[in-house]
Amino acid sequence: MDTKTIRFLRRGEPVSLGNVPPERTLLELLREDLGATGTKEGCGEGDCGACTVVLGEAVDGRLRFRAVNSCIRLAHSVDGLAVWTVEDLAGADGSLHPAQEAMVRCHGSQCGFCTPGFVMSLFGMYQNHVCRGEPVTRALAQEELSGNLCRCTGYRPILDAAQAMADLPLVRVDEEQVLAQLQQLGEAPAGGAYLAPESLSGLLAARAAHPQAQVVAGCTDVGLWVTKQHRQFDQVLDVTRARELRRIEDYEHHVAIGAAVALTDAFAALVEQRPQLRTFANRFAGLPVRNAGTLGGNVANGSPIGDTMPLLIALDARLVLMKQDGHRHLALEDYYTGYRRTVLQPDELVAWILVPRPRAGEFLRAYKVSRRFDDDISAVCLVLRLELDEGRVAGIGIGAGGVAATPARALRTEAFLAGKPWTEATVQQAIGVLRQEFQPISDMRASAAYRHAVLGNLLQRFWLETQGQAGINLESQELEVTA
């Protein structure tokens, strides 16, 4: 197998590893090739956070730190980056990093299996907030630790540790030195079994030349094929290095989000325009998954239980599909033809997602129903956008997930509501239409009957919220913090 050498920084020194299969995970590389066994394997699917490491990447002349799950991260994807594991944090004299010291002082570890992952998430939090003079609030700690699970502590001492880091002597990464070392690594050689072109033209040429290659864009789903189904790939095409697709571009009527933009950044752009989406964005997945996954990958993958697609459908988003000799635009809901099937041709890629700006008077709500509040897959996802003109429905967008073989637009319900007075009687009729529009299945997350009921109940909740009622869902509740 023709594989290129992986080069990255660790502990301030360059690491080079050759003959690495394209489907080998970063966790396997760390534990088996480098002996960094502090990084643990728990779930193997990016759910528990025991395998969390922090990556450093040069972005616009600064070093960006991001916690990711190494169990579903392909090893070749860290070529040219800096990698920190739990073994790398203590000082040369053995002194603990504030992320470690705070966990000790606050008794944040019991059995200890999850502790390395928590420490690495705390390290990422420390670099991104404490080192920049920003406070770590309880809410921030809960948000950024949502991708780490613990069965022992009840989380309170870990959250205490997150806030206590700022009280310890400051320890900084020498970012200028790391940036200089990353520059010295240079660009990766082209070719091999893992292709990661750094330009859009190179990416489209590689797609045309290797239509059989497995496309990845963050790998939070393909990684499960590796860890759970033990799939192997002759060749992988990684879209996340193409510089043009890593951008978010603002236009008069829409924002264009490149397919290689991480979910963290894509959601930030959407929340900037529509602040009411903040909780929905945070509940999409834990922070390590949002740091690794991409909006383009989530859309292209087309899972019927993906959360971004119902949102984008309700917002009337459009896709730009590109290949070497042209491109085409289409509505997002028209991209899907069946379960995990799309209109994408073998030489095409999803390149951009075009999201319209908020309309005047737009009322938008995104509802996610899952067994766990944080870091869980939806049983039902329903997103509704409404515009009224003198009490009548002037604009309506309804996207649904978890109720059909594909993410879907509720066309019949939209048609029923269009032009009608927005009254309780109209909504009650629309509830019946919405429940009849989809034929969900029963699975491990919910029964078909439950999904039918929830669809109508969420439309009822939407009606109540348009009438000014608040405090009718968990998202509006805040837990009181006690000592």
Concatenating the DSSP letter of every residue in 374-419 gives SS---SEEEEEEEEEETTEEEEEEEEEESSSSS-EE-HHHHHHHTT
Q: Is residue 187 part of a domain?
A: no
pLDDT band at 224 (very low <50, low <70, confident <90, very high): confident
386 and 303 together in one domain: no
pLDDT band at 116 (very low <50, low <70, confident <90, very high): very high
Q: Is residue 186 part of a domain?
A: no
Query: 419-475 pLDDT, tens per residue?
Result: 999 999 999 999 999 999 999 888 888 899 999 999 999 999 999 999 988 777 766
Q: Is residue 459 part of a domain?
A: yes
99 and 119 together in one domain: yes
Q: Is residue 47 part of a domain?
A: yes
Contacts 24+ apart (CB under 8 A), 331-340: 332/299, 332/407, 333/399, 333/407, 333/408, 333/409, 335/299, 335/302, 336/302, 336/406, 336/407, 336/408, 337/406, 338/405, 338/406, 339/304, 339/405, 339/406, 340/301, 340/302, 340/303
287 and 401 together in one domain: no
pLDDT band at 219 (very low <50, low <70, confident <90, very high): confident
105 and 139 together in one domain: yes
Q: Is residue 479 part of a domain?
A: no
* CATH code, domain with 417: 3.30.390.50
Q: Is residue 66 part of a domain?
A: yes
Query: 296-333 pLDDT, tens per residue?
Result: 999 998 888 889 999 999 999 999 999 999 999 999 99
Q: What percent of the chain has pLDDT over 90?
A: 82
Q: Is 246 in contact with 107 (CB distance < 8 Å)? A: no
- What is the extent of the structural domain holding 388? 363-474
**399 vs 152 pLDDT, higher one:** 399
Given a cut of 60, whether residue 254 has pLDDT beyond it is yes
217 and 119 together in one domain: no
pTM for this one? Answer: 0.93
Task: Output the six-digit token pair for 473.
Answer: 């869902």
Q: How many domains does the chain have?
A: 3
Query: 274-299 pLDDT, tens per residue?
Result: 999 999 999 888 999 999 999 999 99
334 and 376 together in one domain: no
Domain end point (choices 294, 325, 356): 356
329 and 217 together in one domain: yes
Query: 342-379 pLDDT, tens per residue?
Result: 999 999 999 999 999 999 999 999 999 998 887 788 89
pLDDT in the model for residue 54 = 98
Q: Is residue 267 part of a domain?
A: yes
* CATH code, domain with 170: 3.10.20.30
Amino acid at 12: G
Given a cut of 90, whether residue 153 has pLDDT beyond it is no
400 and 451 together in one domain: yes
328 and 461 together in one domain: no
144 and 225 together in one domain: no
Q: Is residue 483 part of a domain?
A: no
Average confidence score pLDDT of the chain: 93
Domain end point (choices 181, 203, 233): 181
392 and 422 together in one domain: yes
